[in-house]
Chains A and B, each alone.
Chain A
């Protein structure tokens, strides 16, 4: 007996998947941007520009 074929997503499921992917991408973008700013600030502090 062969394995069942994976079923295709319905339109509603596809919409939910895209929404979740977009949401995760947005959150990840904000987090990455935050870390860019933080690492920049850490670097400036470590090289002693701000004392």
Chain B
């Protein structure tokens, strides 16, 4: 009690505000939105393009801060998140809330004024979707939280695209679909070896509710439409064979790793090498797929 009170009396360190923005998640958001922006037809002034990416990064940080504000009690129960600024008592909850709301408003306003209002509208919806629909509604209530909530992380490339063109067409919707369908196998492979953490916090992740067997089956099941969405831009003639080949190769590796997970029957985290491998590869998969996609589209242009 005294330790916590003394900590709370001190002003939070600026690094704690930075930690609130979930910088590692933000890096993926920045990357996918940049790919959406580079893949879009037409031109955008570098200053406006930079501003759009900055706004998307700030909005992602704001959504992360609002998520941590709401889940502070939950985070305290999980080993993976207990060292975050709020559960560790290094920051006042109200400061996190004000920071999240302030950063959200600032990012949306700049996006609207400097870039365009469609991108700003999508930005405000994505913050709302992550902070309210996913964090407050889906995550504590349904094991399908990741499936529907995956939409929150799928918005950045669409916003990047909209920043350039001012519209949303089939290609950005395919980029949305790739991330949307990639999220369940990505998160469930993490949830499998973090099951006890989520269980302790009472979060109804699929492994806790439906069991490991069903989760491993679902991972394989989601990999198939994800691969389909990844290959679709090539099939529809929106990219060259370079991207098509890369998408087939990367999705094939993803599928084989998912099969390894499906075959694994380990119940302890120490025996879940297949799950850890799939989780690591899934991040690399998204980075490479989007990088090749953007490069391919730029070459075509």
Contacts and interface: CB of A to CB of B under 8 A. Distances in A.
A21 B14 CA distance: 9
A1 to B, nearest CB: 18
A27 B14 contact: yes
Interface in B1-60: 6, 9-14, 45, 47-48, 50-51, 54
Given A45-B47, A45-B48, A50-B45, A20 B114 contact: no
Contacts of B11: 17, 20-21, 24
A41 interface: yes
Contacts, number: 35
Contacts of B45: 45, 50
Contact of A20 (B6, B10, B50, B51): B10
A36 interface: no
A7 to B, nearest CB: 9
Majority secondary structure, A binding face: helix
A42 B51 contact: yes
Interface in A1-51: 9, 13, 16-17, 20-21, 23-24, 27, 38, 41-42, 44-46, 50
A13 B47 contact: no
Contact of A41 (B6, B10, B47): B47
Nearest to B13: A20
Contacts of B54: 38
Contacts of B51: 38, 42
A16 B47 contact: no
Given A45-B47, A45-B48, A23 B10 contact: no
